[in-house]
Amino acid sequence: MLWATVDQVLAHLGLSDDADGRVEGALDVANDWAQGKRPDLDPETAVRVSVAHGVVIMAGLLYRERSTPQGIAGYPDMEGGFTDSTAYYRCLDLIGSRRPVAR
């Protein structure tokens, strides 16, 4: 059950290979996350481009998170240690996650 592939995540991260397996591990978590958020979609028969893109972004966030000492996906080359929590919400939008509704 795959929403996205290791090659897609490597391209997103600008990496050439996954020698230590961390990209694959992050992708496994991101694929499971998407399946949990969208159990109504079957990735084997109906892979939507937006869902796959959301999974790739999520896998990238998880990879960066696991690669930083702080455990937070960040952008250390920008002054102030900028972190982008909006990327998570963008992933939710891309996979079409349903928002909770007040009753």
CA R_g for the chain: 14
- Return d(Cα 96, Cα 90) in angstroms, integer: 10
pLDDT recorded at residue 101: 56
- Return d(Cα 58, Cα 7) in angstroms, integer: 14
pTM across the whole model: 0.76
Looking up tokens 């959301």 gives 54
Which tokens hold the place of 103? Answer: 């009753």
pLDDT recorded at residue 84: 60
pLDDT recorded at residue 81: 47
pLDDT recorded at residue 69: 60
Residues of the chain short of pLDDT 70, as ranges, are 1, 46-47, 67-84, 98-103
